[in-house]
């Protein structure tokens, strides 16, 4: 359902072609065309009507229809082949015209397969032409910039992000600490602010931060990268693996950045990332203002006259970087993020959920619906609990309650039962201790119950009744208290004994 919504958004809001949408949402072009056709027949547009459920949309788009064994009418393949030689004519366009005349004709994939069987071969090289403000190509330069830590003297390599607009070749370059997801998203935000507008399409390489699973047929975008595209109202079309022609503009931009910017900085010593970017900016302005050799104007002048007017305006709110993580809710109705536990409604105990977290907030989603939201905490081992998330009779939810843990612990021994009681009583809500109690009791499956009993006794003595402490005691064989060696008595006439008279 999320893919269908993304197809509708990219088609109606972004105006992308079926092939571009197909590569973005990881389906075939015929599937995109089928979704759009079904949406038109069902009267659905973008944005969807408020209150329209996923089940209602699914029923409207995919009604049950009887199978048909009618033979498909054949188009005139020779005419199709001749029409493909004309500018702007595509197989998709010819297929749509064919389907308008023959509603019971081939689907798009079968249409293409039969045409290729007729034509035997198609041209493998396509000269790229770029519409104004349409495509922004992004990549990292293979060359890095050394940055020296002034405190330690350690030298680290800063990565170089490069972006190039398709029509004007207007270039943006900046240095980042890593190629990680946070730096990748941040570079895109700063690049769009540098351009002062939003292009229609992003064409990245198959970097792990942007494309989780590169594929010729179905590249899988990182959720944070997809969220960036939704915020700015653009589409993402990753280049094919090992196909540099798909991003020839940025390949050339990387080469120019290495020659006209990084090469000029090779003798400089930098002690911070800000110094690197401060040195890059004037060289970048010089690169964009440098006149073309064979064409009139420069990258900057063509950008001002061609690309800038075609860019969409930036949104009023700056994009905030957020990461996503798949997690499972525990029996205590809490989900873990970086060793802190956040509550969700008790109905979702044991459910698999999606976490969306920024520097300040943590949101929990299931099937696209937000079920919880919290301020982010950096305290490990602590809980953030909303009282409304607890069940009316929370002690009996799903059979897990404090008494059940105490009865289980009693089968091991009184010391274990005392440790579990301490864990449950030390929390504001007993449910917050369920996870720790379950972990302690499951140690009896790894170690002998007698050793667990001794470990709990030792943990109570040293006031360290936690799962990690008890597991560490058992792992290193420290559950028994160390014996205090008896002190040997010294002879009374020893030369080093001063005697009691010395202290008077």
In tens, the pLDDT along 128-156 reads 457 788 889 888 888 899 999 888 889 99
Q: Which helix (H) or strand (E) holds 181?
A: helix 181-195
Asked if 438 and 341 sit in the same domain, the reply is no
Residue 490: which pLDDT band, with cuts at 50, 70 and 90? very low
Higher pLDDT, 217 or 101: 101
Tell me, yes or no, if the pTM score tops 0.75.
no
The answer to whether residues 456 and 470 touch, using CB atoms and an 8 Å cutoff, is yes
Asked if 157 and 47 sit in the same domain, the reply is no
Asked if 383 and 410 sit in the same domain, the reply is no
Instruction: Answer with the one of 362, 393, 424 that is the final residue of a domain.
Output: 393
| 77 within domain boundaries | yes
CA dist., res. 170 & res. 277, Å (int): 18
CA dist., res. 207 & res. 189, Å (int): 17
Residue 217: which pLDDT band, with cuts at 50, 70 and 90? very low
Residues 173-191 have pLDDT tens digits of 999 999 888 888 999 999 9
Tell whether the model's pLDDT for residue 124 goes beyond 70: no
| 86 within domain boundaries | yes
Residues 187-207 have pLDDT tens digits of 999 999 999 999 988 888 766
| 282 within domain boundaries | yes
Tell whether the model's pLDDT for residue 94 goes beyond 80: yes
Residue 501: which pLDDT band, with cuts at 50, 70 and 90? low
Nearest in space to 319 (alpha carbons), one of 225, 228, 234, 235: 228
The pLDDT > 70 percentage for the chain reads: 80
Average pLDDT of the chain is 80
- Return the exposure string of 112-143: e unless at least 16 CB atoms fall within 10 Å of the residue's CB, then b: bebbeeeeeeeeeeeeeebebbbbbbbbbbee
pLDDT at 220: 58
| 495 within domain boundaries | no
Give residue 426's domain range.
Answer: 401-475
Asked if 301 and 339 sit in the same domain, the reply is no
Phi first, then psi, for residue 273 (nearest 5°) are -65, -35
Tell whether the model's pLDDT for residue 42 goes beyond 60: yes
The answer to whether residues 319 and 189 touch, using CB atoms and an 8 Å cutoff, is yes
311 contacts: CB under 8 Å, gap ≥ 6:
133, 195, 196, 197, 198, 199
| 243 within domain boundaries | yes
Instruction: Answer with the one of 377, 393, 409 that is the final residue of a domain.
Output: 393
Residue 126: which pLDDT band, with cuts at 50, 70 and 90? very low
Instruction: Answer with the one of 393, 412, 435 that is the final residue of a domain.
Output: 393
CATH number of residue 171's parent domain = 3.30.420.10
The answer to whether residues 171 and 287 touch, using CB atoms and an 8 Å cutoff, is yes
Residues 349-404 have pLDDT tens digits of 889 999 998 888 899 999 888 999 999 988 888 888 887 887 665 444 445 677 78
Asked if 106 and 170 sit in the same domain, the reply is no
Tell whether the model's pLDDT for residue 489 goes beyond 70: no
Asked if 426 and 360 sit in the same domain, the reply is no
167 secondary structure, DSSP code: T
pLDDT at 295: 67
Higher pLDDT, 401 or 496: 401
Residues 266-288 have pLDDT tens digits of 889 999 999 999 999 999 999 99
Tell whether the model's pLDDT for residue 243 goes beyond 70: no
The answer to whether residues 366 and 357 touch, using CB atoms and an 8 Å cutoff, is no
Asked if 380 and 405 sit in the same domain, the reply is no
Segment among 225-229, 317-321, 402-406 with least mean pLDDT: 402-406
| 316 within domain boundaries | no
pLDDT at 284: 93
The answer to whether residues 105 and 74 touch, using CB atoms and an 8 Å cutoff, is no
Asked if 70 and 213 sit in the same domain, the reply is no
pLDDT at 503: 46
Asked if 144 and 94 sit in the same domain, the reply is no
| 503 within domain boundaries | no
Tell whether the model's pLDDT for residue 504 goes beyond 90: no
Higher pLDDT, 247 or 169: 169
Total domains, the chain: 4
Higher pLDDT, 146 or 67: 146
| 195 within domain boundaries | yes
The whole-number average pLDDT for the span 437-457 is 88
Asked if 407 and 371 sit in the same domain, the reply is no
Which of 235-239, 302-306, 380-384, 392-396 reaches the highest mean pLDDT? Answer: 302-306
Asked if 144 and 216 sit in the same domain, the reply is yes
The whole-number average pLDDT for the span 449-454 is 88
pLDDT at 51: 67
Residues 470-483 have pLDDT tens digits of 898 888 888 777 65
pLDDT at 66: 47
The pLDDT > 90 percentage for the chain reads: 19
Tell whether the model's pLDDT for residue 491 goes beyond 60: no
Asked if 170 and 259 sit in the same domain, the reply is yes
pLDDT at 209: 52
pLDDT at 238: 80
The radius of gyration of the chain's CA atoms, rounded to the nearest angstrom, is 33
Higher pLDDT, 71 or 382: 382
Nearest in space to 9 (alpha carbons), one of 19, 319, 21: 21
Residues 23-37 have pLDDT tens digits of 888 888 888 888 888
pLDDT at 241: 58
DSSP string, 96-143: HHHHHH-TTS--HHHHHHHHHHHH------------TTTEEEEEEEEE
């Amino acid at each position: 359902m999320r893919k269908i919504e993304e197809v509708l958004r990219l088609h109606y809001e972004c105006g992308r072609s079926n092939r571009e949408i197909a590569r973005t949402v990881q389906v075939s072009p015929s599937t995109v065309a089928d979704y759009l056709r079904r949406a038109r027949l069902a009267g659905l547009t973008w944005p969807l009507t408020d209150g329209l459920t996923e089940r209602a949309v699914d029923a409207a788009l995919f009604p049950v229809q009887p199978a048909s064994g009618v033979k498909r009418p054949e188009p005139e393949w020779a005419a199709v082949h001749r029409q493909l030689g004309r500018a702007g004519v595509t197989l998709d366009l010819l297929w749509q015209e064919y389907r308008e005349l023959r509603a019971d004709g081939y689907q798009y994939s079968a249409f293409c397969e039969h045409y290729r069987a007729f034509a035997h071969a198609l041209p493998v090289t396509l000269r790229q032409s770029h519409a104004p403000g349409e495509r922004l190509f992004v990549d990292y330069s293979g060359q890095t910039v050394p940055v020296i830590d002034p405190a330690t003297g350690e030298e680290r390599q800063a990565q170089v992000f490069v972006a190039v607009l398709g029509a004007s070749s207007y270039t943006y370059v900046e240095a980042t600490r890593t190629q990680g997801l946070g730096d990748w998203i941040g570079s895109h935000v700063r690049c769009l602010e540098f351009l002062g507008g939003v292009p229609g399409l992003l064409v990245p390489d198959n970097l792990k931060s942007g494309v989780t699973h590169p594929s010729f047929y179905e590249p899988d975008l990182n959720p944070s990268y997809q969220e960036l595209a939704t915020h700015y109202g653009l589409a993402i079309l990753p280049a094919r693996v090992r196909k540099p022609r798909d991003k020839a503009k940025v390949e050339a931009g990387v080469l120019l950045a290495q020659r006209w910017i990084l090469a000029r900085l090779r003798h400089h010593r930098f002690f911070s990332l800000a110094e690197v970017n401060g040195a890059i900016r004037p060289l970048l302005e010089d690169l964009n203002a440098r006149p073309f050799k064979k064409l009139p104007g420069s990258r900057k002048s063509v950008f001002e006259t061609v690309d800038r007017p075609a860019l969409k305006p930036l949104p009023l709110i700056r994009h905030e970087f957020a990461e996503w993580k798949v997690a499972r809710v525990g029996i205590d109705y809490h989900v873990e993020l970086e060793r802190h536990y956040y509550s969700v409604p008790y109905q979702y105990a044991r459910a698999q959920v999606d976490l969306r977290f920024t520097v300040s907030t943590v949101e929990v989603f299931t099937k696209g619906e937000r079920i919880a939201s919290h301020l982010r905490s950096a305290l490990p081992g602590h809980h953030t609990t909303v009282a409304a998330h607890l069940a009316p009779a929370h002690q009996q939810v799903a059979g897990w309650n404090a008494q059940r843990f105490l009865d289980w612990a009693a089968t091991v021994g009184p010391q274990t039962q005392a440790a579990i009681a301490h864990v449950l009583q030390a929390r504001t809500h007993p449910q917050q201790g369920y996870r720790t109690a379950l972990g302690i009791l499951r140690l009896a499956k790894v170690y002998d119950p007698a050793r667990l009993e001794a470990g709990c006794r030792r943990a109570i003595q040293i006031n360290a009744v936690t799962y990690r402490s008890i597991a560490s005691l058992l792992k290193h064989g420290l559950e028994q208290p160390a014996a205090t060696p008896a002190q040997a008595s010294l002879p009374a006439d020893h030369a080093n004994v001063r005697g009691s008279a010395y202290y008077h």
